[in-house]
Amino acid sequence: MKTKLTLITIFAAMVFVIALFIGPKPISPFNLGEMGKDIIFSIRLPRVLVSILMGMALGASGAVLQGILRNPLADPYILGISSGAALAAAFGIITGLSLFGIVTIPLLAFIGALITGVFVGAMGWKRGGFWPDRLLLAGVGLGFLFSAMLMLLMSISSDEGLRRATLWIFGDLSIADWSIIPYGSVFIAAGLVVAMARAKALNALVLGDDLAHSLGFSPRKERFILFVSVGLMTAASVALGGMIGFIGLLIPHIGRFLVGSDNKVLIPVSAIGGGVLLCIADLIGKSIVSPMELPAGIITAILGAPYFLFLLRRKDVLSI
């Protein structure tokens, strides 16, 4: 296990370094020059950090969500939080709101995600606790509703507003900026710490409510705490760079394949794996059709879907 974790960490560090120096304009780390330093520290480093933070949030959220819902197909988007964030962000983009400068759109996305999370939580709450089935259905229902409202908003928008909103929906990391990183980092770190602290309880929830109760955990209380951690991480991720699909679904399955189902190990491995995948996807998206860029969400889907189908054929991957 230690060898696997060491290899995963080394691979993640290599991807981080490669993403800094390889891109539409490769830069030598041994001969930066003034222009190279400016590109690295003003453009690439914040963008790489944002992609890693978003990927970590989505990967860890997927692992937690699949555990608390006991559903191997659950991911952060199934709760509708991303749809709510996208609707709020698209409204800000299309109407041209700029009340808080560059952080206006991320702030709107965060508020939209939090409000949606509260709605989903309220609808999934019954008799003093979260009910997995109610939570799941509430998320799916609100997700469809917000997606329909988003399509309506986009259908009546101008061409420029439509283009910018479309880029946001598919994960536009070109907006990455130092100013938004501290805000996202705080919420993602808080959610990750809570999820890690309740990893033993999550292991018990996966085995069933009766067994979790017999081991001394309150299933309703633990689901509430873990749901809050997922909400914080997902909202912060969408606020940082838009909607990125597939990471929360795919990465936890790969993590279980590599290190097993113990959430004390699976959650951090899923976080690292999510950061690595999104960093690679963004690197490909900004390099493959340079000087144009492809949204990272499109790349994660193109990379992730075939590999997920490959795993599905080889292993009993749909188990938690």
pLDDT tens digits, one per residue of 177-226: 788 788 889 989 999 999 999 999 999 998 888 888 888 898 888 988 99
- The two tokens of residue 207 are 């085995």
pLDDT at 60: 95
Is residue 252 within 8 Å of 317, Cβ to Cβ? no
Task: Give dist(CA 29, CA 12) in Å, integer.
Answer: 18
Is residue 76 within 8 Å of 111, Cβ to Cβ? no
Task: Give dist(CA 68, CA 52) in Å, integer.
Answer: 24
Tokens 């990183």 found at: 181
Task: Give dist(CA 154, CA 150) in Å, integer.
Answer: 6
pLDDT tens digits for range 229-267: 888 888 888 878 888 888 988 899 889 888 988 999 999
Model pTM?
0.86
Is residue 244 within 8 Å of 54, Cβ to Cβ? yes
Neighbours of 73 (CB within 10 A): 11
Neighbours of 247 (CB within 10 A): 33
Cα 55 to chain centroid, rounded = 5
- The two tokens of residue 50 are 């944002």
Is residue 292 within 8 Å of 28, Cβ to Cβ? no
pLDDT at 159: 67
Task: Give dist(CA 35, CA 312) in Å, integer.
Answer: 46
